Structure 1
Amino acid sequence: MEDKCFHRLPNGNEVAVLGKAKVFPNPFFYEPSPLARIAATLLQQSLPVLKEGKMFGVLIVEHKGELGYLQAYSGQLEGVSDDGFVPLVFDYLQSDGYFKTHEAEITALNCEIETLKQSDDYAKAVKKLTDLKVEAQKVVAEAQQAMAVAKQLRDERRKKTFVSEDEQKGMIRESQYMKAELHRTKKRCAALLEAAEAETEEYKKKIAQLKNIRKRKSDELQRWLFSQFTFLNAKGERSDLLSIFRNYYLQHSPQSVLATHFATIGEQATLFPPSGTGECCEPKLLQYAFAHSMRPVEMAMFWWGEPPKTEIRQHGQFYPACNGKCKPLLTWILKGMNVAANALETENEQSIDIVYEDPDLAVIVKPSGMLTVLGRSNRQSVETILRQRWNDNDTPIIVHRLDMATSGLLVVARNKQAHKHLQAQFKAKTVKKRYVALLSTKLLDRIELPKEGTISLPLCADVLDRPRQIVDRNKGKTAITHYKIIGKTPLADSRYSEAVKVELCPITGRTHQLRVHCAHPEGLACPILGDMLYGKRADRLYLHAEYLEFTHPTTGKLICFEKKI
């Protein structure tokens, strides 16, 4: 019987000439092959433009001696037929199934919680408590003011003339009475507030109880769901999501298994996968291939449709797999396959250029592709090179950082005093920094964009795909960048012959700030060339820290450095 999910590639002989990859591409760092691009184009031709964008993927496979491809989409999709797409690894969406039945219970709890929070009685109780607090403060303040006035009058009476013993006793009694009355007033107010708080507390207690029940039911349902998602790997082994994630973090980061992302099953602690794990393109495609005796050859994922408001996604652009949901899972699924190394994690041999050095600090030029500090991989870093050079393993030297892909000027400290002084300058924002970025010439098509301006977009980490950053106006931290468009410049790159030079001056120093501010639709809407996270690949990321100005921690003199890209 013909497999409806297996799509033959056209002109088989001509396609075969393109060749197949000798190793399976690393899903976290890859360049789509010609075969993968052909399959992606064929899929794109069948897709409508989506108002709410979606990640799609293709997997080149060998099936019964024939080369073809599988296609998938991440999550759920409305408005597009499922015909020809690989199915869910586990279909949990039947209307009368376990998941939907228990999901309905959680939805009912949500409604009950919201009904309580929005009820007139609860609103009245909250208003009553608020009004009582205001009234109590007013009454107590008036009593205290009356006491102060009475005391002032008594003091003035004593200063002006002789006060008899009886009058003196009367003044004392007045003072004692007013103090006692203030105490009684506070006590009455406290009693009224206690009663009002008890009334609102009943509602809060009920809401909290319902939330606890909801959380328990939600965790139980999520745990059940993850236990139903079972996956094959290239070795033919089968395991569920809970076990895969727990074993991954035990092997790669044991401390994570002791962190806060826990759900307790009896005496067993299990790291919960993020919601939606197992529903991305990559695991769906590989599972179908393994389950139907197809050999995976190459894979590619692309975004189709409008981007989300927070994330940066380009229509038709290819993207790597996400780290939060896919890295533990794909690491296990691909076990036993010959997978290309992740170039971002492999060893590299580079050198740094020291442009200034004295007993207190050094200013260096970091090349693109080098880490500032030692990471989890075996890659060289500025820190390790300088510690070896200075034979110093204890002194804090790193004052600020550049992204691994960014090149340019860095100041590093050589003693604790210099480190503290330089850090204080960065914190006070007295250090002047200027970057130069090369963007696509399409930037000049935006005739409405001022040649100079300021971008302010709050940023925070994408917790499911670090180190990617997203724009979040609720949780994000303030991020401000001044920009100046300089103009066109020739570029010796294998993909681009010219670019637009833009000067960028960050006022704040958020992770990937300049990269996101360039790429985001509310920023320059034009990714920096070579930005594989937010834009398109090039020979390198064309972002360079070319100017640095700060006060020397010992001499107090203002010093500046400039290094063109």
Structure 2
Amino acid sequence: MLRSLFQPFKTNVSGISLPEKFTFPFYYEPHELSRIAAYELQEYLATQTDFEHNFGLDEHQKGLIIGKMFGVLVCQNQEGAIGYLWAFSGKLAGVNHLPYFVPTIFDMLHEDGFFRKEEEVLNAMNRKIEILENSNELQNCKKQFELIKKEASTDIQNQKAKIKRLKVERDEKRISFANLSPTDMEQLELELSEESKKESILLKKMTKYWNFQMEKAQKEINFLLDEINQLKEERRQKSGALQQKLFAEYSFLNQFGERKSIGEIFNNNPPAGAGECAAPKLLHYAFEHHLKPIAMAEFWWGQSPKSEIRKHKQFYPACKSKCEPILLSHMLKGLDMEANPFQENPAEGKDIELVYEDEFLAVINKPAEFLSVPGKIISDSVFQRVKSLYPNATGPLIVHRLDMSTSGLMLIAKDEATYVKLQSQFIKRTIKKRYVALLDGILEEQQGYIDLPLRVDLDDRPRQLVCYEHGKPAQTKWEKIEIRNHQTLVYFYPITGRTHQLRVHASHEMGLKTPILGDDLYGKKAHRLHLHAASLTFEHPVTKEKMTITKEANF
């Protein structure tokens, strides 16, 4: 088993130095060995006949199109030989196990496993519940109850109407017999009162009768529902016990041989699919078979899903919500790993440029890789710098934000009144913004309009998804400026201001299909993201003058 899964490089890698530290899986540039291992896996995927799966690369292939994330782990065995392991995320071709790929941590699909047996018990309970819920006896009881309810309502309403009608008649009698003697009038009132009491008593008896009939019918329904509810409670308990058993089986090794279950890691509330990604599978197999992890990389193979942005053959980091707690808190424990770049200050050694200033506001030019406001770990930001620059300023200061990787113009308010007025212009969308971007490819069209609603990817923040059901409206106008070195310079005019809006609209298949150069989330990493907020047009909140501030990009 070990010999077949720990594969030697087909390419001669003897002249390539090993990395000094293991890959930080959530932000990395693949090591050369990882690239070669990934390339050899891609060669296999392009030519293999071991399984059938529609990745969406062959327009003639039938079946549901499902692109996949694959991973490679470069390892060293106990004899010192270098090789690699392969893995896929989730299932591939409908199964958990395929030749040459490391197995899942726990195979729920194994025919003799406890999950399949318990699943069949739960399925049998589901079928029994469904039969009972749709039984003729229960449906007839419900119909009878509704019939009694309707008849009772009609009967009671008729009696109430009769009481009202008789009351009117009694009142008319009193008027017509107004000339009776006091004795006769008293006798008449007594008769009319008795008549009223009889009708009221009849209404009470009718109400009591029909309540009894409905209670009787409801008891018959409840008798049948009790069995269903008892089965549902039994199913809930069995399902919960099965879930806990699954959590215990999904236990991950680290280099010290320590095991930790997915239940422990996620406090018994793991996200769906946790532990099924390529990275945990690769590391678990390596530790289980005494292989030393050297470097790792993951790439996408196939057509991109409609909602997110995945490019064929492109490398991607491990997902945060599912993999970060598993890897960082346990599996990578004790490994000499590359530094976490999210804990490093990207603004160190950089300065913000003052482009415009008066006594009420300022416009600054933010460098790329510079936070607009303090983050969870890094406090250095435009806000902190401006706060030091204007120690006597009041109010929030930062009127709007730019993504950390985006450079360009930001409005700063020196007092709260100015802040409120400028914010109002953003809310009303009267402020005009122009961004310049260099796209990593050639656009044929000259201009256009993109309308793709966005929401955050809950499994991989801060990545955004296109979502027509839950996404917020996001619209962008654009125009092509020039082609240079097989890249396209464009202007973006965002109508809305969603997180990563321009980056997603540029890269998505339903947008421009061409990522911004250097976009490490939706394209390929480069020395910087080539996106710059170049121009702001707004009304000065005090002088009411229409102002346009411009600072062109230097890329």
What is the TM-score with the length of structure 2 in the denominator? 0.77
1:339 lines up with 2:337 in the alignment: yes
1:94 lines up with 2:110 in the alignment: yes
Counterpart selection for 2:537 from 538, 545, 549: 549
Aligned residue runs from structure 1 range 248-287, under 5 A: 270=267, 272-287=269-284
Aligned residue runs from structure 1 range 71-470, under 5 A: 71-78=86-93, 82-107=98-123, 218-245=239-266, 270=267, 272-331=269-328, 332-348=330-346, 349=348, 350-378=350-378, 380-391=380-391, 395-444=395-444, 450-470=445-465
The one-letter code of the counterpart of 1:288 is Y
Residue 342 of structure 1: CA displacement?
2.6
Decide whether the 8 Å contact of 1:283 with 1:330 is kept in 2.
yes
Counterpart selection for 2:84 from 69, 85, 91: 69
Decide whether the 8 Å contact of 1:346 with 1:379 is kept in 2.
no
| Secondary structure at the counterpart of residue 518 of structure 1 | helix
Decide whether the 8 Å contact of 1:435 with 1:504 is kept in 2.
yes
| Secondary structure at the counterpart of residue 43 of structure 1 | helix
Distance in 1, matches of 2:274 and 2:115, equals: 16
| Secondary structure at the counterpart of residue 448 of structure 2 | strand
Distance in 1, matches of 2:380 and 2:108, equals: 46
Residue 418 of structure 1: CA displacement?
1.9
Decide whether the 8 Å contact of 1:24 with 1:296 is kept in 2.
yes
Residue 360 of structure 1: CA displacement?
2.6
Residue 217 of structure 1: CA displacement?
5.1
The one-letter code of the counterpart of 2:501 is Q
The structure-2 alpha-carbon separation of the partners of 1:228 and 1:2, relative to structure 1 and needing over 3 Å to count, comes to closer
The one-letter code of the counterpart of 2:280 is P
1:58 lines up with 2:81 in the alignment: no
1:538 lines up with 2:533 in the alignment: no
1:558 lines up with 2:555 in the alignment: no
Distance in 1, matches of 2:498 and 2:478, equals: 16
2:26 equivalent in structure 1:
28
| Secondary structure at the counterpart of residue 441 of structure 1 | coil
Residue 106 of structure 1: CA displacement?
4.9
Residue 75 of structure 1: CA displacement?
0.8
| Secondary structure at the counterpart of residue 510 of structure 2 | coil
The structure-2 alpha-carbon separation of the partners of 1:467 and 1:217, relative to structure 1 and needing over 3 Å to count, comes to farther
The structure-2 alpha-carbon separation of the partners of 1:308 and 1:205, relative to structure 1 and needing over 3 Å to count, comes to farther
The structure-2 alpha-carbon separation of the partners of 1:393 and 1:563, relative to structure 1 and needing over 3 Å to count, comes to closer
The structure-2 alpha-carbon separation of the partners of 1:22 and 1:476, relative to structure 1 and needing over 3 Å to count, comes to same
The structure-2 alpha-carbon separation of the partners of 1:472 and 1:212, relative to structure 1 and needing over 3 Å to count, comes to farther
Decide whether the 8 Å contact of 2:352 with 2:364 is kept in 1.
yes
Distance in 2, matches of 1:533 and 1:411, equals: 26
Residue 541 of structure 1: CA displacement?
0.9
The one-letter code of the counterpart of 1:55 is M
Which deviates more from structure 2 when the two are superposed, residues 377-386 or residues 273-282? 377-386
Which deviates more from structure 2 when the two are superposed, residues 398-407 or residues 294-303? 398-407
The one-letter code of the counterpart of 1:316 is K
| Secondary structure at the counterpart of residue 443 of structure 1 | coil
| Secondary structure at the counterpart of residue 539 of structure 1 | coil
Decide whether the 8 Å contact of 1:453 with 1:482 is kept in 2.
yes
The structure-2 alpha-carbon separation of the partners of 1:391 and 1:87, relative to structure 1 and needing over 3 Å to count, comes to same
| Secondary structure at the counterpart of residue 326 of structure 1 | helix
Distance in 1, matches of 2:228 and 2:433, equals: 51
What is the TM-score with the length of structure 1 in the denominator? 0.75
Which deviates more from structure 2 when the two are superposed, residues 544-553 or residues 110-119? 110-119
Aligned residues: 489
Distance in 2, matches of 1:501 and 1:56, equals: 33
The one-letter code of the counterpart of 1:531 is D
Residue 242 of structure 1: CA displacement?
2.2
Structure 1: gaps of 5 or more residues:
141-165, 170-183, 246-269, 445-449, 491-496
1:527 equivalent in structure 2:
515
| Secondary structure at the counterpart of residue 263 of structure 2 | helix
Decide whether the 8 Å contact of 1:478 with 1:508 is kept in 2.
yes
Aligned residue runs from structure 1 range 489-500, under 5 A: 490=484, 497-500=485-488
Decide whether the 8 Å contact of 2:274 with 2:322 is kept in 1.
yes
Q: Percent same amino acid among aligned pairs? A: 45
The structure-2 alpha-carbon separation of the partners of 1:36 and 1:424, relative to structure 1 and needing over 3 Å to count, comes to same
The structure-2 alpha-carbon separation of the partners of 1:4 and 1:539, relative to structure 1 and needing over 3 Å to count, comes to same
The structure-2 alpha-carbon separation of the partners of 1:394 and 1:119, relative to structure 1 and needing over 3 Å to count, comes to farther
Decide whether the 8 Å contact of 1:485 with 1:502 is kept in 2.
yes
The one-letter code of the counterpart of 1:287 is H
Deviations 1:32-68 (A, max 9, x none): 1211111111111111462311110111111121010
The structure-2 alpha-carbon separation of the partners of 1:298 and 1:108, relative to structure 1 and needing over 3 Å to count, comes to same
